Protein backbone atom coordinates (compact mmCIF):
# COMPACT_ATOMS: atom_id res chain seq x y z
CA UNK A 1 0.00 0.00 0.00
CA UNK A 2 1.13 3.53 -0.79
CA UNK A 3 1.14 4.65 2.86
CA UNK A 4 3.48 1.82 3.84
CA UNK A 5 5.96 2.51 1.05
CA UNK A 6 6.24 6.23 1.83
CA UNK A 7 6.65 6.32 5.58
CA UNK A 8 6.88 9.89 6.96
CA UNK A 9 9.35 8.58 9.55
CA UNK A 10 11.81 8.15 6.68
CA UNK A 11 10.92 11.60 5.30
CA UNK A 12 10.26 10.15 1.84
CA UNK A 13 8.19 12.26 -0.54
CA UNK A 14 5.80 10.58 -2.96
CA UNK A 15 6.33 11.64 -6.58
CA UNK A 16 5.18 10.28 -9.93
CA UNK A 17 6.67 12.82 -12.37
CA UNK A 18 9.67 15.13 -12.37
CA UNK A 19 9.77 18.88 -12.96
CA UNK A 20 9.77 18.41 -16.75
CA UNK A 21 6.68 16.19 -16.75
CA UNK A 22 8.52 12.89 -17.22
CA UNK A 23 6.99 9.89 -15.43
CA UNK A 24 9.66 8.65 -12.99
CA UNK A 25 7.53 6.20 -10.97
CA UNK A 26 5.20 4.57 -13.52
CA UNK A 27 4.10 1.92 -11.00
CA UNK A 28 2.38 4.64 -8.98
CA UNK A 29 0.78 6.53 -11.87
CA UNK A 30 -3.01 6.54 -11.38
CA UNK A 31 -5.14 4.68 -13.90
CA UNK A 32 -6.60 7.71 -15.65
CA UNK A 33 -6.73 8.55 -19.35
CA UNK A 34 -4.77 11.31 -21.06
CA UNK A 35 -8.14 12.85 -21.98
CA UNK A 36 -8.92 13.13 -18.27
CA UNK A 37 -5.48 14.59 -17.60
CA UNK A 38 -5.99 17.16 -20.38
CA UNK A 39 -9.38 18.11 -18.95
CA UNK A 40 -7.73 18.55 -15.54
CA UNK A 41 -4.95 20.67 -17.04
CA UNK A 42 -7.49 22.95 -18.70
CA UNK A 43 -9.42 23.25 -15.46
CA UNK A 44 -6.26 24.14 -13.54
CA UNK A 45 -5.71 26.93 -16.06
CA UNK A 46 -9.22 28.23 -15.46
CA UNK A 47 -8.75 28.16 -11.68
CA UNK A 48 -5.42 29.95 -12.02
CA UNK A 49 -6.80 32.65 -14.31
CA UNK A 50 -9.81 33.20 -12.03
CA UNK A 51 -7.35 33.60 -9.16
CA UNK A 52 -4.95 35.95 -10.97
CA UNK A 53 -7.81 38.11 -12.17
CA UNK A 54 -9.20 38.25 -8.63
CA UNK A 55 -5.90 39.74 -7.48
CA UNK A 56 -6.10 42.27 -10.32
CA UNK A 57 -9.70 43.17 -9.46
CA UNK A 58 -8.71 43.63 -5.82
CA UNK A 59 -5.85 45.93 -6.78
CA UNK A 60 -8.39 48.01 -8.71
CA UNK A 61 -10.46 48.42 -5.54
CA UNK A 62 -13.28 46.26 -6.86
CA UNK A 63 -12.97 43.52 -4.24
CA UNK A 64 -11.68 43.24 -0.66
CA UNK A 65 -8.65 41.40 0.75
CA UNK A 66 -8.07 38.18 -1.20
CA UNK A 67 -5.75 35.15 -0.64
CA UNK A 68 -3.97 34.14 -3.90
CA UNK A 69 -3.82 30.46 -4.90
CA UNK A 70 -1.00 30.77 -7.46
CA UNK A 71 1.17 27.63 -7.51
CA UNK A 72 -1.18 25.38 -5.54
CA UNK A 73 -3.64 24.39 -8.30
CA UNK A 74 -2.66 20.71 -8.60
CA UNK A 75 -3.66 19.93 -5.01
CA UNK A 76 -7.12 21.42 -5.26
CA UNK A 77 -7.80 19.93 -8.67
CA UNK A 78 -6.47 16.41 -8.04
CA UNK A 79 -8.52 16.14 -4.87
CA UNK A 80 -11.58 17.99 -6.16
CA UNK A 81 -11.83 15.79 -9.26
CA UNK A 82 -12.57 12.84 -6.94
CA UNK A 83 -15.32 14.42 -4.85
CA UNK A 84 -18.84 13.09 -5.27
CA UNK A 85 -22.09 14.94 -4.64
CA UNK A 86 -22.59 13.23 -1.27
CA UNK A 87 -19.05 14.05 -0.13
CA UNK A 88 -18.31 17.11 1.99
CA UNK A 89 -15.86 19.92 1.28
CA UNK A 90 -14.55 21.73 4.36
CA UNK A 91 -12.14 24.35 2.97
CA UNK A 92 -9.69 26.76 4.50
CA UNK A 93 -9.51 29.72 2.10
CA UNK A 94 -7.04 28.80 -0.67
CA UNK A 95 -9.07 26.13 -2.48
CA UNK A 96 -10.33 27.87 -5.63
CA UNK A 97 -10.16 24.69 -7.73
CA UNK A 98 -11.84 22.33 -5.27
CA UNK A 99 -14.54 24.92 -4.62
CA UNK A 100 -15.41 25.17 -8.31
CA UNK A 101 -15.33 21.39 -8.71
CA UNK A 102 -17.73 20.99 -5.78
CA UNK A 103 -20.16 23.15 -7.71
CA UNK A 104 -19.61 26.68 -6.41
CA UNK A 105 -20.14 29.45 -8.93
CA UNK A 106 -17.15 31.70 -9.48
CA UNK A 107 -19.42 34.71 -9.01
CA UNK A 108 -20.34 33.39 -5.53
CA UNK A 109 -16.66 33.01 -4.62
CA UNK A 110 -16.10 36.61 -5.70
CA UNK A 111 -19.15 37.63 -3.66
CA UNK A 112 -17.60 36.10 -0.57
CA UNK A 113 -14.34 38.01 -1.01
CA UNK A 114 -16.39 41.10 -1.77
CA UNK A 115 -17.84 40.95 1.74
CA UNK A 116 -21.28 39.56 0.91
CA UNK A 117 -22.89 36.98 3.19
CA UNK A 118 -24.67 35.58 0.12
CA UNK A 119 -21.31 34.35 -1.16
CA UNK A 120 -21.04 31.83 1.69
CA UNK A 121 -24.17 30.02 0.57
CA UNK A 122 -22.55 28.56 -2.56
CA UNK A 123 -25.86 27.98 -4.34
CA UNK A 124 -25.86 24.71 -6.25
CA UNK A 125 -22.94 23.27 -4.28
CA UNK A 126 -24.20 20.63 -1.81
CA UNK A 127 -22.31 19.72 1.36
CA UNK A 128 -19.96 22.69 1.17
CA UNK A 129 -19.01 24.64 4.29
CA UNK A 130 -18.02 28.33 4.01
CA UNK A 131 -14.38 29.36 3.73
CA UNK A 132 -12.70 29.39 7.13
CA UNK A 133 -10.48 32.40 7.73
CA UNK A 134 -9.95 31.50 11.44
CA UNK A 135 -7.03 29.09 11.19
CA UNK A 136 -7.78 25.34 11.60
CA UNK A 137 -11.16 25.82 13.29
CA UNK A 138 -12.84 24.05 10.37
CA UNK A 139 -11.11 20.74 11.13
CA UNK A 140 -13.26 20.03 14.19
CA UNK A 141 -16.33 20.64 12.02
CA UNK A 142 -14.98 18.15 9.47
CA UNK A 143 -14.56 15.45 12.10
CA UNK A 144 -18.07 16.13 13.41
CA UNK A 145 -19.46 15.65 9.92
CA UNK A 146 -17.44 12.44 9.55
CA UNK A 147 -18.76 11.19 12.88
CA UNK A 148 -22.32 11.92 11.73
CA UNK A 149 -21.77 10.07 8.45
CA UNK A 150 -20.68 6.98 10.38
CA UNK A 151 -23.52 7.30 12.88
CA UNK A 152 -26.09 7.52 10.11
CA UNK A 153 -24.33 4.83 8.08
CA UNK A 154 -24.17 7.17 5.10
CA UNK A 155 -21.75 6.86 2.20
CA UNK A 156 -19.63 9.98 2.26
CA UNK A 157 -16.10 11.29 2.67
CA UNK A 158 -15.08 14.63 4.15
CA UNK A 159 -12.31 16.62 2.43
CA UNK A 160 -10.80 19.03 4.96
CA UNK A 161 -8.12 21.51 3.89
CA UNK A 162 -5.71 23.43 6.10
CA UNK A 163 -2.39 25.23 5.64
CA UNK A 164 0.93 24.36 7.27
CA UNK A 165 0.34 27.11 9.82
CA UNK A 166 -2.84 25.35 10.92
CA UNK A 167 -0.85 22.36 12.16
CA UNK A 168 0.42 24.55 15.01
CA UNK A 169 -3.10 25.15 16.30
CA UNK A 170 -4.83 23.06 18.93
CA UNK A 171 -7.84 22.52 16.66
CA UNK A 172 -5.63 20.49 14.31
CA UNK A 173 -4.52 18.08 17.02
CA UNK A 174 -7.97 17.76 18.57
CA UNK A 175 -9.45 16.97 15.16
CA UNK A 176 -6.85 14.32 14.31
CA UNK A 177 -7.19 12.77 17.76
CA UNK A 178 -10.97 12.39 17.68
CA UNK A 179 -10.97 11.59 13.98
CA UNK A 180 -8.68 8.65 14.69
CA UNK A 181 -10.67 7.47 17.71
CA UNK A 182 -13.99 7.63 15.87
CA UNK A 183 -12.57 6.39 12.54
CA UNK A 184 -14.19 9.37 10.86
CA UNK A 185 -13.99 9.23 7.03
CA UNK A 186 -11.94 12.42 6.71
CA UNK A 187 -9.06 13.38 4.43
CA UNK A 188 -6.94 15.99 6.19
CA UNK A 189 -5.12 17.78 3.37
CA UNK A 190 -2.34 20.05 4.62
CA UNK A 191 -1.25 22.51 1.94
CA UNK A 192 2.34 23.02 3.06
CA UNK A 193 3.14 26.13 1.04
CA UNK A 194 6.27 26.78 3.14
CA UNK A 195 5.01 29.82 5.04
CA UNK A 196 2.39 30.64 7.67
CA UNK A 197 2.09 34.22 6.47
CA UNK A 198 5.78 35.11 7.01
CA UNK A 199 6.85 32.24 9.30
CA UNK A 200 8.71 29.41 7.50
CA UNK A 201 7.87 25.80 8.36
CA UNK A 202 11.31 25.38 9.97
CA UNK A 203 10.23 27.88 12.64
CA UNK A 204 6.80 26.33 13.11
CA UNK A 205 7.80 22.81 14.10
CA UNK A 206 10.81 20.63 14.94
CA UNK A 207 9.24 17.68 13.10
CA UNK A 208 11.09 16.45 10.01
CA UNK A 209 7.82 16.87 8.08
CA UNK A 210 4.14 17.51 8.77
CA UNK A 211 2.82 14.11 7.67
CA UNK A 212 4.64 12.50 10.60
CA UNK A 213 2.18 14.17 12.98
CA UNK A 214 -0.40 11.55 11.96
CA UNK A 215 1.49 8.83 13.87
CA UNK A 216 0.58 10.27 17.27
CA UNK A 217 -3.10 9.80 16.46
CA UNK A 218 -2.88 6.32 15.00
CA UNK A 219 -3.74 7.28 11.43
CA UNK A 220 -1.77 7.02 8.17
CA UNK A 221 0.17 10.03 6.95
CA UNK A 222 2.01 10.64 3.71
CA UNK A 223 4.22 13.42 2.35
CA UNK A 224 3.35 14.15 -1.28
CA UNK A 225 4.76 16.43 -3.97
CA UNK A 226 1.80 18.80 -4.08
CA UNK A 227 2.86 20.21 -7.47
CA UNK A 228 2.69 16.74 -9.04
CA UNK A 229 -0.88 16.22 -10.27
CA UNK A 230 -0.43 12.46 -10.62
CA UNK A 231 1.03 12.01 -7.14
CA UNK A 232 -1.72 14.08 -5.55
CA UNK A 233 -4.41 12.20 -7.45
CA UNK A 234 -3.04 8.79 -6.47
CA UNK A 235 -2.52 9.74 -2.81
CA UNK A 236 -6.05 11.14 -2.53
CA UNK A 237 -7.45 8.11 -4.35
CA UNK A 238 -5.92 5.68 -1.85
CA UNK A 239 -6.91 7.87 1.09
CA UNK A 240 -10.52 7.89 -0.14
CA UNK A 241 -10.49 4.10 -0.42
CA UNK A 242 -9.08 3.89 3.12
CA UNK A 243 -11.81 6.17 4.50
CA UNK A 244 -14.64 4.45 2.60
CA UNK A 245 -13.48 1.07 3.93
CA UNK A 246 -14.22 2.28 7.45
CA UNK A 247 -10.56 2.58 8.44
CA UNK A 248 -10.73 6.25 9.39
CA UNK A 249 -8.83 9.40 8.42
CA UNK A 250 -5.64 9.97 6.46
CA UNK A 251 -3.30 12.97 6.69
CA UNK A 252 -1.84 14.13 3.37
CA UNK A 253 0.94 16.70 3.50
CA UNK A 254 0.96 18.34 0.07
CA UNK A 255 4.34 20.04 -0.35
CA UNK A 256 3.95 23.13 -2.50
CA UNK A 257 4.78 26.84 -2.57
CA UNK A 258 2.61 29.91 -2.33
CA UNK A 259 3.97 31.88 -5.28
CA UNK A 260 1.85 34.91 -4.51
CA UNK A 261 1.36 36.88 -1.33
CA UNK A 262 -0.36 35.44 1.74
CA UNK A 263 -3.16 37.86 0.96
CA UNK A 264 -3.36 41.06 -1.03
CA UNK A 265 -2.47 42.85 2.23
CA UNK A 266 0.89 41.07 2.42
CA UNK A 267 4.35 41.80 0.95
CA UNK A 268 6.29 38.51 0.61
CA UNK A 269 9.49 40.28 -0.48
CA UNK A 270 10.00 41.16 3.19
CA UNK A 271 10.54 37.55 4.25
CA UNK A 272 11.61 35.45 1.26
CA UNK A 273 14.15 35.73 -1.54
CA UNK A 274 13.85 35.96 -5.30
CA UNK A 275 16.09 32.88 -5.55
CA UNK A 276 13.59 30.82 -3.55
CA UNK A 277 10.73 32.00 -5.72
CA UNK A 278 12.62 31.11 -8.92
CA UNK A 279 13.44 27.64 -7.56
CA UNK A 280 9.78 26.91 -6.97
CA UNK A 281 8.74 28.44 -10.28
CA UNK A 282 10.61 25.55 -11.94
CA UNK A 283 8.31 23.16 -10.05
CA UNK A 284 5.12 24.88 -11.19
CA UNK A 285 2.24 22.37 -11.40
CA UNK A 286 0.85 23.60 -14.73
CA UNK A 287 4.29 23.67 -16.33
CA UNK A 288 4.93 20.08 -15.28
CA UNK A 289 1.56 18.76 -16.40
CA UNK A 290 1.90 20.54 -19.73
CA UNK A 291 5.29 18.88 -20.18
CA UNK A 292 3.62 15.50 -19.79
CA UNK A 293 0.75 16.31 -22.17
CA UNK A 294 3.08 17.68 -24.85
CA UNK A 295 5.23 14.54 -24.60
CA UNK A 296 2.09 12.43 -25.14
CA UNK A 297 1.14 14.44 -28.23
CA UNK A 298 -2.23 15.58 -26.89
CA UNK A 299 -1.30 19.25 -26.38
CA UNK A 300 0.91 21.88 -27.96
CA UNK A 301 2.53 24.98 -26.50
CA UNK A 302 0.48 27.20 -28.82
CA UNK A 303 -2.79 25.71 -27.52
CA UNK A 304 -2.58 27.67 -24.26
CA UNK A 305 -3.23 31.12 -25.72
CA UNK A 306 -6.70 30.56 -27.28
CA UNK A 307 -7.75 28.60 -24.20
CA UNK A 308 -6.82 31.47 -21.90
CA UNK A 309 -8.57 34.00 -24.14
CA UNK A 310 -11.77 31.95 -23.86
CA UNK A 311 -11.38 31.61 -20.08
CA UNK A 312 -10.74 35.33 -19.66
CA UNK A 313 -14.15 36.09 -21.16
CA UNK A 314 -15.80 33.54 -18.85
CA UNK A 315 -14.12 35.00 -15.76
CA UNK A 316 -15.08 38.55 -16.75
CA UNK A 317 -18.69 37.40 -17.15
CA UNK A 318 -18.66 35.88 -13.65
CA UNK A 319 -17.10 39.00 -12.18
CA UNK A 320 -19.77 41.13 -13.85
CA UNK A 321 -22.40 39.02 -12.07
CA UNK A 322 -20.63 39.74 -8.79
CA UNK A 323 -20.50 43.48 -9.49
CA UNK A 324 -24.18 43.55 -10.44
CA UNK A 325 -25.14 42.25 -7.01
CA UNK A 326 -27.06 44.93 -5.07
CA UNK A 327 -25.31 46.44 -2.05
CA UNK A 328 -26.03 44.44 1.07
CA UNK A 329 -28.33 46.11 3.59
CA UNK A 330 -26.95 47.07 6.99
CA UNK A 331 -29.24 44.46 8.53
CA UNK A 332 -27.13 41.69 6.95
CA UNK A 333 -24.29 42.49 9.35
CA UNK A 334 -26.53 41.55 12.28
CA UNK A 335 -29.26 39.15 11.17
CA UNK A 336 -27.15 36.02 10.59
CA UNK A 337 -25.88 35.75 14.18
CA UNK A 338 -29.03 34.11 15.58
CA UNK A 339 -32.19 32.55 14.19
CA UNK A 340 -34.20 35.28 15.91
CA UNK A 341 -32.34 38.53 16.51
CA UNK A 342 -32.19 39.29 20.27
CA UNK A 343 -33.12 42.71 21.59
CA UNK A 344 -29.56 43.85 22.34
CA UNK A 345 -28.49 43.07 18.77
CA UNK A 346 -31.47 45.01 17.44
CA UNK A 347 -30.33 47.97 19.53
CA UNK A 348 -26.81 47.67 18.10
CA UNK A 349 -28.25 47.71 14.59
CA UNK A 350 -30.27 50.86 15.30
CA UNK A 351 -27.20 52.55 16.80
CA UNK A 352 -25.08 51.59 13.80
CA UNK A 353 -27.67 52.89 11.34
CA UNK A 354 -27.73 56.20 13.22
CA UNK A 355 -23.94 56.33 13.05
CA UNK A 356 -23.99 55.80 9.28
CA UNK A 357 -26.57 58.55 8.88
CA UNK A 358 -24.40 60.90 10.92
CA UNK A 359 -21.33 59.94 8.89
CA UNK A 360 -23.16 60.66 5.65
CA UNK A 361 -24.19 64.12 6.88
CA UNK A 362 -20.63 64.88 8.01
CA UNK A 363 -19.22 63.92 4.61
CA UNK A 364 -21.54 66.43 2.93
CA UNK A 365 -20.35 69.40 5.02
Q: Is 59 a catalytic residue?
A: no
DSSP result, 185-206: -EEEEEEE-SEETTEEGGGT--
Tell me the sheet residues that pair with 223.
Answer: 13, 253
> Residue 204 in contact with residue 166, Cβ under 8 Å?
no
Tell me the sheet residues that pair with 186.
Answer: 158
Q: Is 147 a catalytic residue?
A: no
Instruction: Select which of 66, 262, 288, 292 is catalytic.
Output: 262
Query: Distance between CA 78 and CA 37 in Å, rounded?
Result: 10
CA distances from residue 238 to 40, 64, 214, 235, 242 in whole angstroms, order as listed: 19, 38, 16, 5, 6
3-state helix, strand, coil in the chain (%, to 5): 50, 10, 40
Tell me the sheet residues that pair with 162.
Answer: 190
Q: Is 262 a catalytic residue?
A: yes
> Residue 29 in contact with residue 239, Cβ under 8 Å?
no
Query: What angle is formed at CA 89 by the lines to CA 127 and CA 166, rounded to 5 degrees?
Result: 140
CA neighbor of 114 nearest in space, from 169, 186, 65, 56:
65
Query: Distance between CA 325 and CA 131 in Å, rounded?
Result: 20
Instruction: Select which of 45, 94, 234, 258 is catalytic.
Output: 258
Query: Distance between CA 160 and CA 121 in Å, rounded?
Result: 18
Q: Is the dihedral of CA 217, 218, 224, 226 positive or negative?
A: negative
> Residue 194 in contact with residue 200, Cβ under 8 Å?
yes
Tell me the catalytic residues: 258, 262, 271
Amino acid sequence: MLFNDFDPQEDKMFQVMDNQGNIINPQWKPDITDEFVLESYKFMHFARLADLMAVSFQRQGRMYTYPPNLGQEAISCAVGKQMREQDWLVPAFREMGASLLKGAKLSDIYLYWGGYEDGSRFSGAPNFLPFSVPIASQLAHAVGIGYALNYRKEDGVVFAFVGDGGTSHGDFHEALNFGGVWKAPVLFIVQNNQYAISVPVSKQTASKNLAIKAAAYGIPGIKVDGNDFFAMYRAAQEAIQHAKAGKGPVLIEAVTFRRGAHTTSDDPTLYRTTAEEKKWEEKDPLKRLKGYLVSQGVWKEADDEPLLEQYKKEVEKEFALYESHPPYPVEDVFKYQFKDMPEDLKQQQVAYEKFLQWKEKESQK
